[in-house]
Amino acid sequence: MNLQLVVIAFFAFGAAAASAQVTTSDTAYQHGMQAYEQGHYAEAETFFRDALDQAKEFGEIDPRFESALKSLAAVFESERSYTEAGSFYQHALALEEQTLGPEHPELARLLNNLGTIREREGNYSQAEPLYKRALTIWEKAPEANHRGLAITLCNLAHMYHVQGGIAPRRICCFWRTECKTELCPSFQRLV
């Protein structure tokens, strides 16, 4: 009888501890999002690092871990710390490719983000294949994400424009898509 109470208490305590960890990790992430949305990037970084550290206990394939990685990447991108942002995006990309597969739309989003980082670093030869792979994924997605496709297309067009290359409208023709300037305002300046 006493052994049953000990076992029940052990499992109840274990469940409560796990619940507290989830709440703490989620709370750190939520506070990080609030700080990020308010432009308090140093504060957001601290919260996201806490969320990442806590999520490590659940393993790298846990969605909380990947969310914290992507959020840290976004913070560093906003701060123009492109080396750090690229590192976090690259880590998230590797994990998501492993867990979601090589053609998942979320992967396209990360490829676009990493392409943007490489472009901002001036690494156009690294940015171009990332953008093109993202476009290929967007095109094959069962539920077409025209916004994701348009944003990635806009980013590729911008990169080519900066390099003095292909005219932006020709890129739309190449990808057989309509130019949807309302989805990417900076595209309007290029066409």
Is the predicted pLDDT of residue 172 greater than 90, yes or no?
Answer: no
pLDDT the model gives residue 146? 72
Q: Provide the whole-model pTM.
A: 0.74
Residue 73 pLDDT greater than 60, yes or no: yes
The pLDDT value recorded for residue 182 is 47
pLDDT digits (tens, 9 = 90+) for 134-161: 999 988 887 666 778 888 888 888 888 7
Phi-psi region of 34 (alpha: psi -120 to 50; beta: other; left: phi over 0): alpha
Q: Domain spans of the chain?
A: 1-83, 101-191
Fold match between 1-83 and 101-191? yes
Tell me the average pLDDT across 91-113. Answer: 93
CB 112 within 8 A of CB 148: yes
> Which is more confidently placed, 168 or 3?
168
Q: How far apart are CA 68 and CA 48, in angstroms?
A: 6
95 has pLDDT over 70: yes
- Helices 41-55/63-78 angle, 10° precision: 160
Residue, of 8 and 57, whose pLDDT is higher: 57
- CATH 1.10.150 assigned to 1-83: no
Residue among 149, 170, 147 at smallest CA distance from 160: 170
- Amino acid letter at 98? Q
| CATH level 2 (architecture), domain 101-191 | Alpha Horseshoe (1.25)
Residues 76, 78, 81: CA angle, nearest 5 degrees:
40
Joined together, the tokens standing for residue 96 give: 């998501």
pLDDT at 115 over 90: yes
Give yes or no for a contact between 50 and 28, defined as CB atoms under 8 angstroms apart: yes
